[in-house]
Amino acid sequence: MSVLINILLFLLVISVLTFVHELGHFIAAKAVGAKVFEFALGFGPKLLSKTIGETMYSIRALPFGGYVKILGDGDPVEEKI
């Protein structure tokens, strides 16, 4: 039982650290006026998502990371939308 609790606590800590880290990217992008397309916690398929303004906020299936998709940071063909 304690192994399961340790695994769940590890996932919780990683999720909180990831959120704070990605929030830093998000705040920095907004501070310089960059367009943020998506703020995601986790990877893989979307479990929940909501668009507010120009940004889609999502929670994804695998809680081992996250990302902030910013205009100009990635595939230039995709950003001609």
**Catalytically annotated residue among 22, 38, 78, 79:** 22
φ, ψ of residue 13 to 5 degrees: the values are -65, -45
HEC readout, 9-70 = HHHHHHHHHHHHHHHHHHHHHHHCCCCEEEEEEEEEEEEEEEEECCEEEEEEEEEEEEEEEE
78 is catalytic: no
Active-site residue numbers?
22
